[in-house]
A = this chain, B = another copy of it.
Amino acid sequence: MKETKPLILISNDDGITAKGIKHLVEFMAEIGEVIVVAPNKGQSGMGHAITIGQALRLDKSNVFGENILAYECSGTPADCVKLAKHYVLKDRTPDLVVSGINHGSNSSINVIYSGTMSAAIEGSVEGLNAIGFSVCDYGHQADFSHTKEVIQKIVRNTLANPLPKGITLNVNIPKKSEIPLKGIKICRQTKGRWAEEFDERIDPHNRPYFWLTGKFVNDDLQVNGEPNTDTDEWALKNNYVSIVPCSHDLTAYPLIAELKDLER
């Protein structure tokens, strides 16, 4: 009897030639049948952008060798998942959508700016099992060697126990170091923000321009003198892999009752 392999759709936001997606394809090919639809260029910080005013291109790619069906797309990460689901896969439904491995953290507030997470969240909007993976190392040559075991564990678990509809896992993995990973922590999103500074410069035509720079501020370090050990930032700082279950239902339910006065 032939065992059916799970169908795994892969995308990312660093582009189809990034090191992170290459590793993710290798890790997933050991578990299931892999199809890749990924941006043809870097799309970091694209949030949940979709392409409305322009047409999209989609071209076959052999960057992962002849055994992996792969496409590069001119659109955003969310576009890639839409095209994959409704055009490339047509009547086939993937058992899982995975996005990444992102070069850089998508913990805390970064989740809302992240193209990696938008690909995964788009999967959940389509009613699919979906996970975004990131490593806290921004380098082009980031080391992913410590990520295989934990990524495969999380993927196998999610294939065996599908997530509820509308839920996406945001998985962040500490940067490779001499200390081995301590394990997995299920966390909440840390309250935080970027304290932005704009680096103002003058171009050769004497016009100003601005580079966005900034420093992450953790507003969620402790309460009553005790550290908040349930946040993704705490987990990562303490060498745990953080998993935050995310919903694309943004409703702040407790506020519904509080705002009822406005109905009058």
> What residues make up the interface of A, taking CB atoms closer than 8 Å to B?
42, 44-53, 55-58, 76, 78-79, 82-83, 85-87, 109, 111-113, 118, 121, 125-127, 153-154, 157, 163-164, 166-167, 170, 183-189, 191, 193, 196-198, 200-201, 207-212, 230, 243-253, 255-256, 259-263
Please indicate the chain B residues that have their CB under 8 angstroms from the CB of A154 in the complex. 262
In the bound assembly, the distance between CA atoms of A90 and B179 in angstroms comes to 42
> A52 CB to closest chain B CB, in angstroms?
4
> A70 CB to closest chain B CB, in angstroms?
17
Could you say which of B121, B208, B244, B248 contacts A251, with CB atoms under 8 Å apart? Answer: B244
Known: A250-B248, A256-B186. A126 touches B55 (CB 8 A): no
Known: A44-B52, A193-B126. A250 touches B250 (CB 8 A): yes
B197 and A86: CB pair below 8 A? yes
**Besides the contacts A52-B212, A82-B196, A126-B193, what 19 more A-B pairs have beta carbons closer than 8 Å?**
A44-B53, A45-B52, A46-B49, A55-B209, A55-B211, A56-B212, A83-B198, A87-B200, A109-B125, A109-B248, A112-B121, A125-B193, A163-B255, A186-B256, A186-B259, A186-B260, A230-B256, A245-B256, A245-B259
Could you say which of B86, B166, B249 contacts A196, with CB atoms under 8 Å apart? Answer: B86
Q: Which residue of B lies closest to A161 (CB)?
A: B261
In the bound assembly, the distance between CA atoms of A184 and B259 in angstroms comes to 11
Q: Which residue of B lies closest to A230 (CB)?
A: B256
B56 and A252: CB pair below 8 A? no
Known: A53-B42, A255-B164, A263-B184. A83 touches B246 (CB 8 A): no
Please indicate the chain B residues that have their CB under 8 angstroms from the CB of A52 in the complex. 44-45, 212
Could you say which of B58, B78, B255, B261 contacts A245, with CB atoms under 8 Å apart? Answer: B255
Q: Which residue of B lies closest to A186 (CB)?
A: B259
